[in-house]
Amino acid sequence: MGLLPIILKYEWEGLPVTRAPNEALIVIDVQNDFCSGGALAVPDGEAVVAGINTVMDEFSCVVLTQDWHPAGHSSFASSHGGRAPYDLIDMPYGAQVLWPDHCVQASRGGAFHADLNDARADLIIRKGTNPLIDSYSAFFENDKTTPTGLEGYLRTRGIQKLTMVGLATDFCVNFSAVDAARLGFDVRVDLDLCRGIDLDGSLAAALAGMKEAGVQVDG
């Protein structure tokens, strides 16, 4: 028999807030480049910010991820002569979509949306920092083997249940959710607080793939 979950009650600005201690909110890539006016703008991307800030109060642990590429990253079309954004190429680790330059380390585009409550973050995990490998997932780079360290962080905190929100539904949210489910976490994706890119049916494929992997997809 497992341990009974303990619910902690907090008072915050006079409001009682219930936070389950073994649950984390994983906020994927709510960065300027994925919002309106950004280099890789996800339609309506900034619409998720207010709701994400609100829902943070329900979680004892909040993790933010940040796409964080060095200039000249191998996922950028501009790094491959004769290639255009959204072309597909073969990389040593498999197929890779080429993107406009985005989320370059320390650029304005790589910063979190100004209204995101990043002060609430317990952990900020940066990914896509290896110049040669992209990283959609918050858990593994696109080679599917190099870990980011997030799994160890969550396990050592005793966290088993994850809710994922953010950008983009069909890329970084999808890869993160599927990896988390495969690692044995209980994973929920709240679609109200996600927005997608939808390249050639990628959104429908992602929704089907997440459900297939055992992710609870709702909202």
CB of 29 to ligand VGL, least distance (A): 4
168 is a contact residue toward ligand VGL (CB under 6 A): yes
Choose between 40 and 60: whose C-beta lies nearer to ligand VGL.
40
- Which is nearest to 182 in space by CA: 155, 158, 215, 205? 215
Residue 55 sits at φ, ψ, to 5 deg, of: -75, -20
Q: Residue 194 touches which of Zn ion, ligand VGL, none (CB < 5 to 8 A by kind)?
A: none
- Which is nearest to 177 in space by CA: 158, 156, 196? 196
Checking DSSP bridges between strand 88-91 and strand 94-97, what pairing results, if any? Answer: antiparallel
Task: Out of 67, 101, 141, 170, point to the residue binding Zn ion (CB under 5 A).
Answer: 67
Choose between 29 and 46: whose C-beta lies nearer to ligand VGL.
29
Question: Could you tell me how many residues of this chain bind ligand VGL (CB under 6 A)?
Answer: 9
171 is a contact residue toward ligand VGL (CB under 6 A): yes
Question: Quick one: which H or E segment has residue 161?
Answer: strand 161-167
172 is a contact residue toward ligand VGL (CB under 6 A): yes
- Which is nearest to 171 in space by CA: 103, 115, 122? 103
Q: Which residue is nearest to Zn ion (CB)?
A: 67
Q: SS3 for 177?
A: helix
CB of 106 to ligand VGL, least distance (A): 17
CB of 126 to Zn ion, least distance (A): 11
Burial bucket for residue 53 (CB in 10 Å: 0-12, 13-18, 19+): middle
Residue 21 CA to residue 38 CA, distance in Å, equals 35
Q: Reply yes or no on whether 29 is catalytic.
A: yes
Task: Find the binding residues for ligand VGL in span 9-68 (CB under 6 A).
Answer: 29, 34, 67
Q: Which of 33, 35, 101, 127 does the annotation list as catalytic? A: 127
Q: SS3 for 138?
A: coil
Structure tokens at 117: 């409550």
Choose between 38 and 128: whose C-beta lies nearer to Zn ion.
128
Interacting residues toward ligand VGL by CB under 6 A: 29, 34, 67, 99, 136, 167-168, 171-172
Interacting residues toward Zn ion by CB under 5 A: 67, 128
The catalytic residues are: 29, 127, 172
